[in-house]
Each structure stands twice: as structure tokens, then as C-alpha cells.
């Protein structure tokens, strides 16, 4: 191992200077494995080290992430008689038009080989494509394995996303409470009792009896004291001018107190742009509703992907997505999942519940939104703490994969 490291240094794989990475970050160090392509023995030696490091994983195929890792995967394939797959960056427009080349059977397990991992988005993209082809990936080092704190350093992370991710890391909670109660008095009591356990407090202002200015002032005071953010689940879905009036005016004056709001994608980007213009603070933001947790939702497939694309119009304002799966591999977005309980199931009214381990650990989203699972409990505080522990444990398990 030491001898191989010395040789890698000799051929100048490790470079020092000022380098702009694909993420936009500037690094004083650059690792360039292309330098070993002219040294076949060193290339094979490095491939063997990769094989030895991956022996505990059970796999039948090997695939290199395009393009620098392809020679490494090829050496490993030839030396150990493992069938090789090639994942194209895009499908050919002629011939077989396949994006995964090579012989395989759905259900087989494939090892992904990468040369350098910065934030892992290329690995996650490759894993997703292989899984769509029916293959299994034994272990993924992915963008989902970045810590919340690391993601605040990305230049594309929106200001509100940075606030939220930093708070989650410092407070060690990725639980948002859905305060689905009938009165402002009940909401304030919940905020006071459970505020220390959560990162966001979600309300529907138009469903709360007794709403007035004193309510949101008192709620803001509790939020500051217990360190959580105010989340108004308004789901704006009208043309820009109407959405702006709903945000700024009326009896709720949402822009004056809400740190983040939700927006449907159905009206296109006009609502987003109008809300951004009306936003009272550059540190506030919005989540786009790209998927919903209720059975029969039409927010699926092409609609979901269009919602993700729409977010790019307002990167400084859109913090992420309301979703039930990892709708994007971009680690600068925060993924928020509603409909979470400690046990899976439904409520008989179309709501489908998933566990914290499922959504945070396996699906790779970031924040769980819990309402009735906590509010209906006999001991709300103990239950909130149980959700907090389960969700944070799932997150730590995900990060530990790296």
C-alpha cells in the first residue's frame, strides 16, 4: 500500500494549486488519476487494492463511473474474471439505444468503482441507473452520505437551506412537527412543549381558529427561544400576482413571520418568482411540492421531474422539495417527507405512513414531518423524543456509509 502511494505521488496524481471543482468549490488540492493511464502496472496495482477493499461486499458484476474509473473497473474485471458493465452518460440515439452496456440478469449485484469522491453525485447517478435496470448495488457512497453541515458549504445551497441544515446539525434533530390542531392556543402550547425536540414547526394558518397578529408574534418568540424555524404549509398554487397578495397581505401576512412556505408546481415558476420578490428576508425560502404522501396523488412521474427542474429558476429562494423519495441527486436541496410514523400503515383516509428509517435511511430524504403520530400520543414529549432519536439514528447510519 505504501509503495503504491509513493508511486502515485511520483507520477503526480496529487496536485497542489488552485482548482475549481465541478461543484463550484475551490480546492488547493486536486487528485487526478488520469496520470496513471500511462503506467499499466500501476493501474492494475490500484485496481487490485480496490478489489481487496471491496471483498466483504458480495457482487457478481463491476461497473466504473464514467469516465476516469472505467480503466480501473476494466482491470478489476479482467484480473478477477468479473463481467464488466459500462454505464453511458446518456443513451445512444441509434443501435440498441441502451444506457447500460454489457451482459447481466436483473437481480444480479454490481460493484460500482469510482476514482475520486467529492460529494458522490456521480456514484448516486450510476447506482440509480443500475437499479432502474434491475440490478442491485451492495453499498452506495453517495451525496446522501454527506453530513448536513458539509452541504451548507456548497455554493448552490439556498440561504434558507443553509439555515435549516446548520440548525439540524447543531441541534441534532431532523424532525418537523405538523401542528395539526384547531386553535392558536393549542398550537402555542405544542410549540412550547415540543420546541426543544424539533427543527421546524409546521402550521396551516388558515385552519387555526383565533389567528391574529399576537399569535404569530408569540409563536416567533417561542421559536427563537427553543431554536426552531416557522413553516407555513400554504401550498401556493395560483398565478404570481395572486400568490404574492396571499403571501404579503390578508389577515395572515405570511411573509412577515414564516421562515419557509410550500408552493405547488402546477402554476409554473411565476408564483415562485413573485414570492421571492415579496420575501421580507433573503434568508427565507420555499419548498416545492414535488410529491405527496396521500394515496392517488397526481404529483408523480413527469410532474415530479418538472417540479425539480422548475426549482432551478429560483435557486436562492427554493430550499428543496416536499417529497416521499429522493427526487434529485443534488445535495444542495433539502428533501422533506411528510406522512411519517414509527410504524408503517395508513389512516383510512388516503394518508400512507412510512417509518423514519425508511425515508431517512433508505430513501435518502432529510427531514421527517410528523403530526398525529406525536399529537395523538398520551405522552407527547416522550413520543417526540422517540421520533427524534429514530430519525437522527437513521441519518447517522446513512452518513456512516461513507
pLDDT tens digits, one per residue of 307-317: 999 999 999 99
pLDDT of residue 92: 73
- Is 372 labelled a binding residue? yes
pLDDT of residue 288: 97
Lowest average pLDDT, out of 45-59, 224-238, 274-288, goes to 45-59
pLDDT of residue 223: 98
Q: What are the start-end ranges of the E strands in 237-364?
A: 260-264, 285-289, 318-322, 334-337, 345-346, 352-353
Give yes or no for a contact between 150 and 308, defined as CB atoms under 8 angstroms apart.
no
How many residues comprise the chain? 402
Write out the three cell numbers for 158. Answer: 439556498
Give yes or no for a contact between 214 and 187, defined as CB atoms under 8 angstroms apart.
no
Give yes or no for a contact between 367 and 199, defined as CB atoms under 8 angstroms apart.
yes
pLDDT of residue 141: 35
Give yes or no for a contact between 102 and 53, defined as CB atoms under 8 angstroms apart.
no
Angle at 158 between CA 273 and CA 223, to 5 degrees: 100
pLDDT of residue 144: 43
Q: Is the four-CA dihedral 40, 43, 47, 53 of positive or negative sign?
A: positive
Q: What is the mean pLDDT of residues 381-385?
A: 98
- Is 255 labelled a binding residue? no
pLDDT of residue 328: 87
Highest mean pLDDT among 15-19, 242-246, 294-298: 242-246
- Whether 89 is a known active-site residue: answer no
Question: What CA dihedral angle connects 57, 58, 60 and 64, to 10 degrees?
Answer: -10
pLDDT of residue 97: 84
- Is 351 labelled a binding residue? yes
- Is 270 labelled a binding residue? no
Rounded Cα gap, residues 383 and 296, in angstroms: 29
Rounded Cα gap, residues 93 and 80, in angstroms: 33
Give yes or no for a contact between 60 and 66, defined as CB atoms under 8 angstroms apart.
no
pLDDT of residue 4: 78
- Whether 233 is a known active-site residue: answer yes
Question: What CA dihedral angle connects 57, 58, 60 and 65, to 10 degrees?
Answer: -20
- Is 132 labelled a binding residue? no
- Whether 32 is a known active-site residue: answer no
pLDDT tens digits, one per residue of 270-310: 999 999 999 878 899 999 999 987 777 777 778 898 999 99
Q: What is the mean pLDDT of residues 214-239?
A: 97
Helix or strand (DSSP H, E) at 223: helix 213-226
Which position among 32, 125, 206, 235 bears the catalytic label?
235
Radius of gyration, alpha carbons of the chain: 24
Domains of the chain: 2-141 (3.40.50.2020), 148-400 (3.20.20.70)
Rounded Cα gap, residues 146 and 331, in angstroms: 8
Q: Is the pLDDT of residue 157 over 80?
A: yes
Rounded Cα gap, residues 320 and 176, in angstroms: 15
Give yes or no for a contact between 168 and 196, defined as CB atoms under 8 angstroms apart.
no
Question: Cα separations (Å) of 243 from 56, 97, 275?
Answer: 54, 44, 7
- Is 212 labelled a binding residue? no
pLDDT tens digits, one per residue of 162-202: 999 999 999 999 999 999 999 999 999 999 999 999 999 99
Q: Is the pLDDT of residue 143 over 50?
A: no
Q: 100: closest CA among 76, 121, 84?
A: 84
Which position among 233, 259, 330, 366 bears the catalytic label?
233
| Residue tagged 397526481 (cell numbers) | 298
Side-chain-side CA neighbours of 9 within 13 Å: the count stands at: 6
Mapped onto helix, strand or coil, the DSSP state of residue 54 is coil
Give the pLDDT band of residue 1 (cuts 50, 70, 90): low
Q: 239: closest CA among 275, 204, 205, 206?
A: 275
Q: What is the mean pLDDT of residues 95-99?
A: 86
Amino acid at each position: 500500500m505504501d509503495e503504491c502511494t509513493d508511486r502515485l505521488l511520483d507520477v503526480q496524481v496529487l496536485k497542489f494549486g488552485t482548482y475549481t471543482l465541478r461543484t463550484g468549490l475551490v480546492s488547493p488540492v486536486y487528485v487526478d488519476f488520469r496520470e496513471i493511464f500511462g503506467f499499466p502496472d500501476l493501474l492494475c496495482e490500484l485496481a487490485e487494492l480496490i478489489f481487496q477493499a471491496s471483498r466483504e461486499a458480495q457482487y457478481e458484476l463491476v461497473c466504473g463511473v464514467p469516465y476516469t474509473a472505467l480503466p480501473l473497473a476494466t482491470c478489476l474485471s479482467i484480473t478477477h474474471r468479473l463481467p464488466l458493465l459500462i454505464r453511458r452518460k446518456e443513451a445512444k440515439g441509434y443501435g440498441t439505444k441502451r444506457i447500460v452496456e454489457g451482459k447481466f440478469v436483473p437481480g444480479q449485484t454490481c460493484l460500482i468503482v469510482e476514482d475520486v469522491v467529492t460529494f458522490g453525485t456521480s456514484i448516486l447517478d450510476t447506482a440509480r441507473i443500475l437499479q432502474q435496470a434491475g440490478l442491485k448495488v451492495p453499498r452506495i457512497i453517495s451525496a446522501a452520505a454527506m453530513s448536513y453541515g458539509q452541504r451548507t458549504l456548497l455554493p448552490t445551497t439556498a440561504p434558507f437551506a443553509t439555515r435549516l441544515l446548520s440548525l439540524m446539525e447543531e441541534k441534532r434533530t431532523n424532525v418537523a412537527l405538523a401542528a395539526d390542531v384547531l386553535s392558536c392556543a393549542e398550537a402555542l402550547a405544542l410549540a412550547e412543549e415540543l420546541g426543544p425536540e424539533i427543527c421546524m414547526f409546521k402550521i396551516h394558518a388558515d385552519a387555526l381558529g383565533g389567528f391574529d397578529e399576537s399569535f404569530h408574534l408569540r409563536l416567533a418568540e417561542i421559536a427563537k427561544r427553543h431554536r426552531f424555524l416557522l413553516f407555513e404549509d400554504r401550498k401556493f398554487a395560483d398565478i404570481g400576482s395572486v400568490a404574492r397578495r396571499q403571501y404579503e397581505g390578508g389577515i395572515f401576512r405570511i411573509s412577515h413571520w414564516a421562515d419557509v412556505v410550500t408552493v405547488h408546481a402546477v402554476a409554473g415558476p411565476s408564483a415562485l418568482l413573485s414570492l421571492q420578490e415579496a420575501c421580507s428576508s433573503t434568508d427565507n425560502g420555499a419548498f416545492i411540492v414535488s410529491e405527496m404522501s396521500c394515496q392517488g396523488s397526481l404529483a408523480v412521474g413527469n410532474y415530479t421531474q418538472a417540479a425539480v427542474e422548475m426549482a432551478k429558476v429560483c435557486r436562492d429562494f427554493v430550499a428543496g422539495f416536499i417529497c416521499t423519495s429522493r427526487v434529485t441527486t443534488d445535495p444542495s436541496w433539502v428533501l422533506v417527507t411528510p406522512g411519517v410514523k414509527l410504524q408503517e400503515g395508513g389512516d383510512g383516509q388516503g394518508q400512507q405512513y412510512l417509518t423514519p428509517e425508511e425515508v431517512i435511511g433508505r430513501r435518502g430524504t432529510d427531514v421527517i414531518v410528523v403530526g398525529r403520530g406525536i399529537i395523538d400520543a398520551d405522552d407527547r414529549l416522550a413520543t417526540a423524543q422517540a421520533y427524534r432519536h429514530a430519525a437522527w439514528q437513521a441519518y447517522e447510519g446513512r452518513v456512516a456509509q461513507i
